[in-house]
Amino acid sequence: MVGERIEADHVVWATSVVAMKNVFRNHFAETTWFKKIEKLKMMHACTFQIELTEPVLSKDITTFGPNSCLGSFSEQSRSTFQGSKGRLSIILTPPEKFLELSKEETLEIVLEDLKRVKIHIGREQIIDYQKIDHPNDFYSLAPGNNQYRPKQTTPIKNLYLAGDYTLQPYFATMEGAATSGMKAAKLVEDGNRS
């Protein structure tokens, strides 16, 4: 419940990198530990979902759209969104550009770029559509940035971090997030034993 105080012996903080920074900055901005985390650059993501009267692709499989705004796209009505008659999910590129645009403006660009990969969607086929912004949702994969990913341990006793941005063998993926959670859980377990 919002505002409820929950006490625990150990806390694993498992938010996205931007949420972690925004909350921890209020308390630890002056520490060497957090100053290093502040150097971890972040990057945006932006996706577009189109609900359709029928599937636009014969298979639900992720495809890439080089030289277009379609970073990757997939029909998903037979897999993730089985309640939909047709559902095209798109990861837009470059995200910086689309964060600035309205969903209506984005639709026009998306429909044009879909034509370039031979996907023609008529207006009458579109039931609904939405743009979803994820500002600063990922740590940046730019060279030199990996060194600033924090470990799951923190200088604060019994406080641990988990999340795809924390240091683990993977990039920002579900595997990475799960691995970081397992690492944090192991630290809690080890702490309980000592």
Q: Which residues bind ligand FAD (CB under 6 A)?
A: 14-16, 19, 23, 45, 47, 91, 134, 137, 163-164, 172-175, 177
User: Which residues, in sequence order, are CB contacts of 13 under 8 Å at separation 6+?
Assistant: 20, 23, 24, 159, 160, 161, 162
* Least distance from ligand FAD to the Cβ atom of residue 63, Å: 13
Q: Which is nearer to ligand FAD, 53 or 81 (CB)?
A: 81
Closer by beta carbon to ligand FAD, 54 or else 141: 141
Using the minimum distance from each CB to ligand FAD, give the nearer residue, 3 or 122: 3
Task: Say which amino acid occupies 124.
Answer: E
Both tokens of residue 97? 């550009």
**CB nearer to ligand FAD: pick between 21 and 114:** 21
Task: For residue 3, give both structure tokens.
Answer: 């505002």
Smallest CA-to-CA distance from 180 within 155, 149, 136, 157 is with 149
> CA torsion 70→76→81→85, rounded to 10°?
100
Distance in Å, CB of 134 to ligand FAD, minimum: 5
Question: Smallest distance, Å, CB 78 to ligand FAD?
Answer: 17
Read off the tokens for 122: 């008529």
* Rounded least distance, CB 138 to ligand FAD, Å: 7
